[in-house]
Amino acid sequence: MSFIQNARKLLQQNIREYGMYIALFVIMTIFTITTKGIFISSRNIVNLVNQTGYIAVLAVGMTLVIVIRHIDLSVGFLGGFLGAIAAIAMVQWHLPVYLAIPLTLALGVLAGTITAFLVAQMKIPAFVATLAGWLIYRGAILVVTESTGTIIIPDKTFNAIGNGFIPDIPGIEFLPGVHKLTLIIGVLAIVLLIINEINSRKKKQAYNFEVLPMEMFIIKLVFTSALIGGITWLLAGYQGLSWTAVVVLVVVLIYHFITTQTVLGRHIYAVGGNPEAAELSGINVKKITYIVFGSMGMLSALSGILFASRLQSATTTAGSLWELDAIAAAFIGGVSPAGGIGKVVGSIIGALVMLSLTSGMNLMGIGISYQYMARGAVLAAAVIFDVATRNRAQ
Amino acid sequence: MNTPILEMKNIIKEFPGVKALNNVSFQVKEGEIHCLVGENGAGKSTLMKVLSGVYPHGQYTGEIIFGGNVQNFKGISDSEKTGIAIIYQELALIPEMTVYENIFLGHEIKNGAIIDWNETIKRAAEMLKKVRLNVNLAAKVKELGVGKQQLVEIAKALSKDVKLLILDEPTAALNEDDSENLLNLLRDLKNHGVTCVLISHKLKEVIEIADSVTVLRDGQTICTLETQKGEVSETALIKYMVGREIDNIYPKRENRQFGEVVLNIENWSAYDPALGRSILKDINFHVKKGEIVGFAGLMGSGRTELALSIFGNPDGYNITGEIFIMGNKKHFRRPQDAINAGVAYVTEDRKGDGLILIQDVKQNITIANLKEIANRGVVNDNTEVNVANEYKDSLNIKTPSIEQKISNLSGGNQQKVSLAKWLFVKPNLLILDEPTRGIDVGAKFEIYTIMTRLVEQGMSIIMISSELPEVLGMSDRVYVVSGGKIAGELAIKDATQEKIMQLATNY
Ligand SMILES: Nc1ncnc2c1ncn2[C@@H]1O[C@H](COP(=O)(O)OP(=O)(O)OP(=O)(O)O)[C@@H](O)[C@H]1O
Ligand SMILES: [Mg+2]
Inter-residue contact B412 to B38 (CB < 8 Å)? no
pLDDT at A394: 43
- Residue A280: CATH number of its domain: 1.10.3470
Please say whether the beta carbons of A261 and B379 come within 8 A: yes
- Tens-place pLDDT, residues B200-239: 988 889 999 999 999 998 899 999 999 888 888 888 888 8
Domain contains A7: no
Q: Is the pLDDT of residue A3 over 80?
A: no
Domain boundary residue among B381, B401, B426? Answer: B426
Domain membership flag for residue A264: yes
The answer to the question of residue B332 being in a domain is yes
Flag whether A33 is in a domain.
yes
* Least trusted range by pLDDT, from A44-53, A323-332, B258-267: A44-53
The enclosing domain of B97 has a CATH number of: 3.40.50.300
Q: Are strands B429-433 and B343-346 parallel, antiparallel or unpaired?
A: parallel
Neighbours of A188 (CB within 10 A): 11
For residues A120 and A25, state if they share a domain.
Answer: yes
Note whether A208 and A311 are same-domain residues. Answer: no
Note whether A234 and A255 are same-domain residues: no
pLDDT for A1: 52
Q: Which residue did the predictor score with more confidence, B35 or A390?
A: B35
pLDDT at A332 over 80: yes
Q: Which of B392, B411, B426 is the last residue of a domain?
A: B426
Q: Do B376 and B436 share a domain, yes or no?
A: no
pTM: 0.85
**Could you say which of A186, A209, A241 is where a domain stops?**
A241
One domain for residues B169 and B306: no
Q: Is residue B379 included in any domain, yes or no?
A: yes
Q: Give the model's pLDDT for residue A393.
A: 47
Q: Whose CA is nearest to atom 6 of ligand 1?
A: B408
Do both A225 and A148 map to the same domain?
no
Residue A258 lies in a domain: yes
A261:B378 CB<8 A: yes
Q: What is the pLDDT at residue A147? A: 84
A203 touches chain B (CB under 8 A): yes
User: Which candidate from B345, B356, B379 shows the least CB-CB separation from A261?
Assistant: B379
User: What mean pLDDT comes out for the span B379-404?
Assistant: 91
pLDDT confidence of B507, banded at 50, 70, 90? low
d(CA B235, CA B383): 42
Question: Is residue B321 in a domain?
Answer: yes
Chains A & B: contacts with CB separation below 8 Å: 80
Whether residue A170 lies inside any domain: the answer is no
Residue B299 and residue B446 in one domain? yes
Is residue B484, in this structure, part of any structural domain at all?
A: yes
Please say whether the beta carbons of B125 and B70 come within 8 A.
no
- Are A250 and A143 members of one domain? yes
pLDDT at B311: 94
Name the residue range of residue B416's domain: 357-426
Whether B350 is covered by a domain: the verdict is no
pLDDT of residue A200: 87
Is pLDDT at B41 greater than 70 in this prediction? yes
A271 close to B (CB below 8 A): no
Please list every residue in chain A whose beta carbon sits closer than 8 Å to the beta carbon of residue B353: 274, 276-277, 279-280
Is residue B481 located within the same domain as residue B419?
Answer: no
Same domain, B293 and B165: no
Runs of H (alpha helix) within A146-274: 156-163, 180-206, 214-237, 243-261, 263-273
Residue B447 sits in the same domain as residue B410:
no
Is the Cα torsion angle B326, B331, B335, B336 positive or negative in sign? negative
Question: For residue B30, is it within any domain?
Answer: yes
The verdict on B422 and B432 lying in the same domain is no
Q: In percent, how much of chain A has pLDDT > 70?
A: 98
Residues A83 and A196 in one domain: no
From the CB of B43, is ligand 1 less than 6 Å away? yes
Measured in angstroms, how far is the CA atom of residue B375 from the centroid of ligand 1? 36
Asked if A106 and A152 sit in the same domain, the reply is yes
* A193 plus A64 within the same structural domain: no
Task: Tell me which residue in A262, A265, A273 faces B358 most closely, judged by beta carbons.
Answer: A273
Predicted confidence (pLDDT) per residue in B107-125, tens digit: 888 888 888 888 888 999 9
Percent of chain A scoring above 90 in pLDDT: 69
B441-456 vs B234-242: helix axis angle to the nearest 10? Answer: 80
- B64-100: burial string, b at 16+ Cβ within 10 Å, e else: bebeeeebebeebebbbeebbbbbbbeeebeeeebbb
Q: Are residues A78 and A203 in the same domain?
A: no
Whole-angstrom distance, CA of residue A143 vs CA of residue A152: 17
* Residues of B in Cβ contact (< 8 Å) with A266: 363, 367, 370, 379
Same domain, B291 and B322: yes
Residues B337, B412: one domain?
no
Report if residue B352 sits inside a domain. no
Is residue B59 pLDDT above 80, yes or no? yes
Domain end (from B242, B258, B274): B242
Range of the domain at A280: 14-164+244-393
For residue A347, how many other CB atoms are within 10 A of its CB?
A: 33
Query: Are A248 and A194 within one domain?
Result: no
Provide the number of structural domains found in chain A.
2
Of A241, A256, A277, which marks where a domain is finished? A241
Q: How many domains does chain B have?
A: 3
Q: Mark whether B196 and B267 lie in a shared domain.
A: no
Residues B314 and B381 in one domain: no
Please tell me the predicted confidence (pLDDT) of residue B157. 87
Rounded to 5 degrees, φ, ψ at B287 are -135, 135
CA of B62 to the centre of ligand 1 (A): 18
A223-232, pLDDT tens digit by residue? 889 989 988 9
> Tell me: the pLDDT tens digits for B329-361?
999 999 999 999 999 999 988 888 899 999 999
Q: Does A207 touch chain B (CB under 8 A)?
A: yes
Q: Write b or e for each residue in A55-82: b if 16 or more Cβ atoms lie within 10 A of its Cβ, otherwise e.
A: bbbbbbbbbbbbbbbbbbbbbbbbbbbb
The more confident residue out of B171 and A279 is A279
* Structural domain contains residue B348: no
- Average pLDDT across chain A, whole number: 91
What is the CA angle B335-B91-B187, rounded to 5? 130
Q: Which residues contact B390 (CB under 8 A, 6 or more apart)?
A: none
Check whether A256 has a pLDDT greater than 70: yes
Per-residue pLDDT at A16 exceeds 90: no
Q: Are A300 and A58 in contact (CB under 8 A)?
A: yes
Q: Would you call B264 helix, strand, or coil by DSSP?
A: strand
Residues B214 and B262 in one domain: no
**Domain termination residue (choose one: A187, A207, A241):** A241
Per-residue confidence at B248, pLDDT binned at 50, 70, 90?
A: confident
Residue with CA nearest ligand 1 atom 10: B408
**CA separation, residue B120 to residues B123, B132, B137 (Å):** 5, 18, 11
According to the model, what pLDDT value does residue B214 have?
95
Q: What is chain B's mean pLDDT, rounded? A: 89
Identify all chain A residues contacting B381, using CB atoms and an 8 Å cutoff: 203
Q: How far is the CA of B18 from the centre of ligand 1 (A)?
A: 9
* A261 shares a domain with A215: no
- Kindly determine whether residue B370 and residue A203, on different chains, have CB atoms separated by under 8 Å: no
Q: Is A337 on the interface with B (CB under 8 A)?
A: no
Whole-number pLDDT of residue A8: 77
Answer yes or no: is A2 within a domain. no
Closest CA to B293 of B415, B451, B419, B412: B451
Lowest-confidence segment of A252-256, B88-92, B185-189, B479-483 by average pLDDT: B88-92
Residues A225 and A327 reside in one and the same domain: no
